[in-house]
Structure 1
């Protein structure tokens, strides 16, 4: 379906829908994908581009009323998502294509709605979530890439993905992640429960895949920064466990760049029956071989 046809279908869906002014408010969840390269993060801010601001503007145009959204995880500047989940409340009763194709016609090319579902009043994109999953994509080659350069982090020294994988296994379970927590983190506790962590190589690409109940600020990028030191041979495999035990951010490596990081999935209780599209990004399968903690 070409762009003009998509716009026509979306417009028709919008026309056939009705806005019931003063009617019962409904709650809607959306799956959202975005390239964060040109945004100052998810969260709405004054005088800078944010994903939230662009999405709310598009939704408000379709709903014909102001819309505010709540997300599962507020990604930082330059960070991407294939599996962000948001919810909003509205009195505008629209057919599903209006919230997908209709909203997408009002969004820039680097933001897209992937799915829509009406949810119960007790659903909250952030507080109902039971786990988040991130993937960090590294282009491991002597020379920088020209294609997909904004969606991967280039690391030119050879990496041993197996060493990185072995080192990361100490992160499984419930731990104090102070050593991998940004100084400005506002979370009340550094304790998080990591459910799985996997490091795999796909040709010239090395992917760090990590899932936890929640993450402290910069946790994934700080973990990746230290794993890179291990992968290139600057540190021993045991260094990761030592850092975890030290509970000192100054002892760990520098924060890895934002452009390789993707929020790929958010877990919710099954009774909400939310769609589960492929996580990606791009060529990555949903379930690579991984070591999990039950």
Structure 2
């Protein structure tokens, strides 16, 4: 993939979003017509500082607030579904790489089910929590070389990657010829995204640098000769994202309104296929 691809060229205004997690700053979300995706502008130079919050739950195992409890409950359910998905693949060596592994729960489940696990996580605190679970994570992909993996997973990670032009070919190089790449990302064309607009929690600026559509993923990975084999819904995301979005919109907890909106989003997606978040299973062509 050429570095000349203009992710930041010929952008059109889409909407302005606020960082509700850390800074309270506003960011412009711009539309890139070539790839049918949205781009967060500008990218802070000290981006790592925007992850330093107890509210950033993927780096902790917190169960303090209602959001925490909902997140942890849903996580335990989805872990089983993720395991079922990867177990459905025919693999040679059962080597799996989880990129952005957080506190290591997914890899722990994989390890307990006879997978050879490898993972990366840039946050030192999250790596320490994972280590206490027996899961040793590297800081980034540069620490993993000369290996091939049957399965590579990125669960809500690709939207955080700064250098997308280099990262996608790197993933391709780490994947075996018959391997599966699993990408899970929010979908800005979902019903809940359209309904909440600038309050949609999955915009999560500036931590989410990119906001993908189904077309985006297909085009980006076609650049490295990979195609989308299957697209699967993440139905729980509509409820969790709506719960946060209601808080951002009104400043109040509105679980009933959030449940209704999440339900409505999933119902509409039965025909449109535009679920709040989507899992893409990709393979080399």
Q: TM-score, normalised by structure 1?
A: 0.25
Q: Which structure's residues are more often helix, by fraction? A: 2
| Structure richer in strand, relative to its length | 1
Larger Rg over CA atoms: 1
